[in-house]
Homo-oligomer: A and B are copies of this chain.
Amino acid sequence: MEQSHEKKSKTMIQELKEGYGHFFEDDLINEIAQVGTYKEVPEGYKLMDIGEYIKGMPLLISGAIKVLREDNDGDELLLYYLEKGETCSMTLTCCLGDSKSEIRAIAETDTKLIMVPIQKMEEWTAKYKSWRNFVFDSYHSRLNELLSTLDSIAFDKLDMRLVNYLKEKSRINKGNTINNTHQEIAYELHSSRVVISRLLKKLEQMGKIALHRNSIELLDL
């Protein structure tokens, strides 16, 4: 038991150094390793849902998490992805306000992460400059991503949003094949299956993608 805890801690420190070594000093990394919980979750795992209270703050080690918004009728909309070295500012936000989550978070791929209890937030913010910077950087990135999501909804047409969606998805999944049905894509873009099928067909006819059952191959986007 003691042995396994020792082993786990070492691994966590290694993972932390790898993903966060350029942000955090050793002292902070050690603290994180002491109070953090290492977690591996499979693709599709729901990490957080709307209305839930936040228990901890996730630090991503590998994989990706998609963050979604939902309206009263259950319609979804993809906001952005979180990747290695990032955290969820919604969580940060909620820690202080002690409020419920405004978003849903689902593992996009198999994901490794470290959960940090929210009580440490305030403490580290006072103690470590690097933590403060990390938190502010994180807010910065998330605000900007939210802005660009908003841009694309307000200013772009659906065909362009779809193209960007496909590009982003292939980047996140590190491959040029996307394993989703048209229905799933429609959900995330808050559109309807028929419309997405129509636009995908058009992209195929332009030679930009190849359509297969349950998957889409990006050729020349």
Question: Which A residues are closer than 8 A to B by beta carbons?
Answer: 69, 71, 73, 75, 77, 79, 89-90, 92-93, 96-97, 102-103, 122, 125-126, 129, 132-133, 136-137, 139-140, 142-144, 146-147, 149-151, 153-155, 190
The 10 A-B pairs at the shortest CB distance, nearest first, are namely: A71-B155, A93-B140, A96-B136, A150-B150, A139-B139, A77-B154, A146-B146, A153-B153, A153-B154, A97-B140
In the complex, chain B residues whose CB is within 8 Å of the CB of A147? 69, 102-103, 146
In the complex, chain B residues whose CB is within 8 Å of the CB of A151? 69, 71
State whether A96 touches B144 (Cβ < 8 A).
Answer: no
Contact of A150 among B122, B133, B137, B153 (CB under 8 A): B153
In the complex, chain B residues whose CB is within 8 Å of the CB of A96? 133, 136-137, 140
Known A69-B150, A96-B133, A146-B147: A155·B89 in contact at CB below 8 Å: no
Question: For the complex, what is the distance from the CA of A153 to the CA of B142, rounded to whole Å?
Answer: 19
In the complex, chain B residues whose CB is within 8 Å of the CB of A79? 150
State the oligomeric state as a number of copies: 2
Question: For the complex, what is the distance from the CA of A125 to the CA of B93, rounded to whole Å?
Answer: 16
Known A71-B155, A126-B126, A155-B75: A146·B150 in contact at CB below 8 Å: yes
State whether B190 touches A154 (Cβ < 8 A).
Answer: yes
Question: For the complex, what is the distance from the CA of A218 to the CA of B156, rounded to whole Å?
Answer: 32
Q: Nearest-CB distance from A113 to chain B (Å)?
A: 21
In the complex, chain B residues whose CB is within 8 Å of the CB of A89? 139, 143
State whether A132 touches B126 (Cβ < 8 A).
Answer: yes
In the complex, chain B residues whose CB is within 8 Å of the CB of A150? 69, 77, 79, 146, 149-150, 153
